[in-house]
Chains A and B, each alone.
Chain A
Amino acid sequence: MSNSLLTRRGLLKTSAVAGAGLALPTIFTSGARAFTNDPTGGTVTLGFNVPQSGAYADEGADELRAYELAVEHLNGGGDGGMLNTFSSKALEGNGILGKKVEYVTGDTQTKSDAARASAKSMIEKDGAVMITGGSSSGVAIAVQGLCQEAGVIFMAGLTHSNDTTGKDKKANGFRHFFNAYMSAAALAPVLEKLYGKDRTAYHLTADYSWGWTQEESIAAATEAMGWKTAEKVRTPLGAGDFSSYIAPVLNSGADVLVLNHYGGDMVNSLTNAVQFGLRDKQVNGKNFEIVVPLYSRLMARGAGKNVAGIHGSTNWHWSLQDDASKAFVKSFGTKYGFPPSQAAHTVYCQTLLYADAVARGGSFNPCSVAEALEGFEFDGLGNGPTLYRADDHQCFKDVLVVRGKENPTSEFDLLEVVEVTPAAQVTYDADHPMFAGGALGACNPGA
């Protein structure tokens, strides 16, 4: 400890250096602009933030394809896809407000941190004026919060948790995808018709925010029609093997198993359940049934034959026969050689809806975009007449109840639509208890 002594001179020098260092940042102030990343040149940059690695990489890859397709259509390329069927005609195929659309991509890794870092670099480095994507509710909520702070619009992709437009809703965030409450409201009547009023459900739930809101929603909807809930068991995310969770199901007296899982977890838990022979069992004199509330084609493909006859809900399916869906499937299929998934559909719609809102509002300012989207009623995007509700920035549209096909004709033809539940039946009040606790706040244009 010989040379740790501070001399008077040394102290003076040091404090001068430190003082200069501390004073340095105060000379910087933020530049004055109307809003974050006002596009000044002949182009406008959008940020596509999707999982390219991790559990939801398949969904992410399909989302990215749809984004590229949407950009092509916005710039007047390709066959125009759903631009031709979209009820609003503000878009002319010359980019957005005459500016050519460019895009940057990033990898969320399905982690909130990585997703925020990626979105931040898009906003700070590439000048993105809108961020969209996300294939997990946690990520979507995290990025939505970031966009609110940074002053850009966030168009949520695949996020099904009630919280995204419930307790974590933000003024700069918008969701086209449906949510857990809507799934439950659409499924319950179908389940009642199929399996009757006297049933006991057993829940296996992915142990994170999306799983909980879905479990809550489904349990509430089924209990309202007379079902009992035997038990709600939480399973860790990415458990791989669910045998130890499936075994106790039969002894619980339940006759319906509800799998609140998504992606790889759903593939594994469903496969385990079917392998245990649950579906061949008789409990309480009734056939044992399995329900997967949130279905996707990519998951159905993973689970293979095990999905046959199992019911669930989905946001959109490529076999729909309205003009818009057909146009979208056609242009997606022409470009990539296979039909789009529901994830691809929702992000394509989100991109178009954003571009259209900019065009109608006449500005890229997030507040102008938000104003144009709030309360916007549209049609021709594959889900029938749809409302973007101003109170919580959630889209209200028809929900599809689907069933795994018994005899699929191809690796894409795995689900069949059982019922289209009208929007009115899945609509809830903005202050519904499952969505309470948050506030939109005011739109933030940054700057």
Chain B
Amino acid sequence: MLGLNKTDSKFLLIVILLTLFTPFLMQPFAADSGLDQFNGGYPDLMQKVAIFGIFAVGFNILFGLTGYLSFGHAAFLGMGSYAAVWMFKLLTMNVIPAILLSMIVSGLLAVIIGYISLRRSGIYFSILTLAFAQMCYKMAYSVLTPITNGETGLQLSLSDPRILDGATESTSLPVTNIFGLAMNSSYKLEALNRVFTFNVGFYFCAIIASIAFYIAIRLFRSPFGMMLRAVKSNQQRMNYMGLNTKPYTLAAFVISGMYAGLAGGLLAAMDPLAGADRMLWTASGEVVIMTILGGAGTLMGPVLGAGVIKYLENIFSKINESVLHSWFHWLPDGLEEVVVWVFARFTGEGWHLTLGLTFMLVVTFLPGGLVEGIKRLKKLTKRGQKPKDKLDAPDPEHTPPPSKHVV
């Protein structure tokens, strides 16, 4: 299908089905089961998972394939958001032009930053990108305030021109839409004692994420992807062979920057605000963590990582002490205090600690990220089912699968 081989088509189909059924998957607990707290099936979180999935997939095209670790990808995310919000302010509340512009603008920014930063590799490249991102952040925060509205962030206002939408007499702010269908409208289905929310914004993000994922698969399997992998394994040798690797790495950088811009544009489309915080180095670090946590260089890894981190951030940070007390009220008084105190370090404002621990455990025991964990589990179950003949499964170390594309 769509120029993919059978395995990849199956993989893509599974991913698409998973995204389509996210409203069910993220709402596993019944309202009265007491575990309601852990449900994540509300629009904002589902949108964030899809959007940061795109961001991480794009980041992985650069980091996973070429090995260039950019610490400044948040600059493109923020740039995309600003571009999108300006589009909402000036042109129309329809999200299509906003998203297109956000990709173009962040692509241009990526050309500039990439052209300069890619003169160096390794740690120097990381530091250069970090420096550029921080410069963008500082400028957005203060110098460029007329454009970015500084610390408060760029917001819509009633007096915006919105040329294409025409003048309205409405006294409330317009909402983002796609040809009239509002992004924030949703349909709630009550069944099995659960409320499933089907949100237009989420499905819009999900469709774009599926397309982005498909393009990423094609990139990974293409001769271009092979070239990028070669850059990762030994760039010097390629240079000695007379290949100029710069255009390839720059293209990867720009594509990955455009993915980030797309994610930024979508963020603004779901919630029309662009703040400078989006460009802060912590945001750049977050996408690195997402990618590594899920599995750098794999297709599914970054999406998994994005999901896990956004879930932790939104669900664990909401478990405050009074919630913990309601869970452990059956314990004797003194013990309850102790247990609640211990748990409170890891939930609520302590969710960063949970994230840190998870990250440490994954990096230590599963260097290939969560994807490696899944693979190992699969292997375990397979081995249990049928012991294989030696000849059936030749040692993969010595007979690598034939490459799909030979240049």
Could you say which residues of chain B place their CB within 8 Å of the CB of A444? Answer: 172
Interface check A142, CB cutoff 8 A: yes
Interface check B376, CB cutoff 8 A: no
Q: Which of B147-155, B233-241, B246-254, B300-308 contacts A (4 or more CB under 8 A)?
A: B147-155
**Beyond A1-B222, A116-B273, is A207–B142 a contact (Cβ under 8 Å)?**
yes
CB-based contact B42/A138 at 8 Å? no
Could you say which residues of chain B place their CB within 8 Å of the CB of A229? Answer: none
Could you say which residues of chain B place their CB within 8 Å of the CB of A22? Answer: 207
Q: Which of B54-62, B108-116, B313-321, B384-392 contacts A (4 or more CB under 8 A)?
A: B313-321
Chain A 133-151 interface mask (CB, 8 Å, partner B; 1/0): 0001110011001101110
CA distance in complex: A185, B238 (Å): 70
Chain A 424-447 interface mask (CB, 8 Å, partner B; 1/0): 000000000000001101101000
**Beyond A111-B277, A112-B277, is A117–B44 a contact (Cβ under 8 Å)?**
yes
Could you say which residues of chain A place their CB within 8 Å of the CB of B352? Answer: 53
Interface check B198, CB cutoff 8 A: yes
Q: Which of B182-190, B255-263, B289-297, B327-335 contacts A (4 or more CB under 8 A)?
A: B182-190
- Tell me which residues from 145 to 169 in chain B have a Cβ below 8 Å from any Cβ of chain A: 149-153, 155-159
Q: Which of B1-9, B63-71, B360-368 contacts A (4 or more CB under 8 A)?
A: B1-9
Interface check A62, CB cutoff 8 A: no
CB-based contact B277/A208 at 8 Å? no
**Beyond A145-B155, A146-B271, is A121–B45 a contact (Cβ under 8 Å)?**
yes
Could you say which residues of chain A place their CB within 8 Å of the CB of B188? Answer: 31
CA distance in complex: A149, B270 (Å): 12
Chain A 201-244 interface mask (CB, 8 Å, partner B; 1/0): 00000011110000000000000000000000010110000000
CB distance from B152 to the nearest CB of A (A): 4
**Beyond A25-B200, A25-B203, is A14–B1 a contact (Cβ under 8 Å)?**
yes
Could you say which residues of chain B place their CB within 8 Å of the CB of A59? Answer: none
- Tell me which residues from 22 to 50 in chain A have a Cβ below 8 Å from any Cβ of chain B: 22, 24-31
Contact of A124 among B1, B44, B158, B320 (CB under 8 A): B44
Chain A 57-76 interface mask (CB, 8 Å, partner B; 1/0): 10000000000100000000
Contact-residue size bin, chain B (C-beta under 8 Å from the other chain): 35 or more
Could you say which residues of chain B place their CB within 8 Å of the CB of A31? Answer: 187-188
Give the nearest-CB partner of B271 in chain A. Answer: A116
Q: Which of A2-10, A80-88, A302-310, A350-358 contacts B (4 or more CB under 8 A)?
A: A2-10
- Tell me which residues from 118 to 169 in chain A have a Cβ below 8 Å from any Cβ of chain B: 118, 120-121, 124-126, 136-138, 141-142, 145-146, 148-150, 163, 168
Give the nearest-CB partner of A144 in chain B. Answer: B155
Give the nearest-CB partner of A28 in chain B. Answer: B187
Could you say which residues of chain A place their CB within 8 Å of the CB of B5? Answer: 3
CB-based contact B186/A113 at 8 Å? no
Could you say which residues of chain B place their CB within 8 Å of the CB of A207? Answer: 141-142
CA distance in complex: A24, B3 (Å): 25
CB-based contact B187/A142 at 8 Å? no
Q: 24 A-B contacts, Cβ less than 8 Å apart? A: A1-B223, A3-B4, A22-B207, A26-B181, A28-B200, A30-B187, A31-B187, A53-B349, A57-B349, A105-B320, A107-B317, A113-B273, A121-B318, A124-B43, A124-B44, A141-B152, A146-B271, A148-B173, A171-B172, A209-B152, A236-B142, A237-B141, A237-B151, A442-B171
8 shortest interchain CB distances as A-B pairs = A208-B151, A52-B349, A28-B187, A112-B275, A442-B171, A138-B151, A30-B185, A125-B42
